Structure 1
Amino acid sequence: MSTATTPAATVEVLAKDCNDNGTVFCPNPKMALWSNHPKVFIDLSHGSQGQCPYCGTAYKLKAGEVLSGGH
């Protein structure tokens, strides 16, 4: 029996996909099983990337994208 795990997905997002405070949520609307875990907000405002603590999906801003300073 194999104990290997499937690598988590990486989702590139545009600045316009982020909330005003620089966050996105997981699970995201494109996920087939959107109700697998509670909705959590992933902060991309520091370092332009973050990871879901439940499913391991990584979220990062697409190259060249900049978050607005609308805090």
Structure 2
Amino acid sequence: MSTATSTDPKAVVEVGAADLHGPGVVFCPNPKMPLWSNHPRVYLDVASTGEARCAYCGTVYRLKAGETLHGHH
């Protein structure tokens, strides 16, 4: 159970194994974000812990429940 705190993400993006690039990373901003919200592109390691938070905008990228990453253990 989680409680609401000031560190709650402003957005959570669920990603599947097919959305990961290279060694299990996603990049932010993602292509679905509006142009006005752009910031420098950062690569976030989702494979290691199952989620990662962008330091620029606070968006959390989370691996979908039940997704299996082959070769990322």
2:66 matches 1:29? no
Residue 43 of structure 2 corresponds to 41
Gaps of 5+ in 1: 1-6
- Give the structure with higher Rg (CA): 1
Paired residues of 1:25 and 1:39 also in contact (CA < 8 A) = yes
Q: 3-state DSSP class of the match of 1:53? A: coil
Aligned length, in residue pairs: 65
The CA RMSD measured in Å over matched residues stands at: 2.0
Gaps of 5+ in 2: 1-8
Runs of 4+ in 1 over 4 A off after TM superposition: none
TM-score (norm. length: structure 1): 0.81
Once structures 1 and 2 are overlaid, which stretch shifts more, 26-35 or 60-69? 26-35
2:28 matches 1:14? no
What one-letter code is carried by the residue in structure 1 that aligns with 2:70? S
**What per-residue deviation string (whole Å, max 9, x for no partner) do you get for residues 13-47 of structure 1?**
01000013000000000001266210000101111
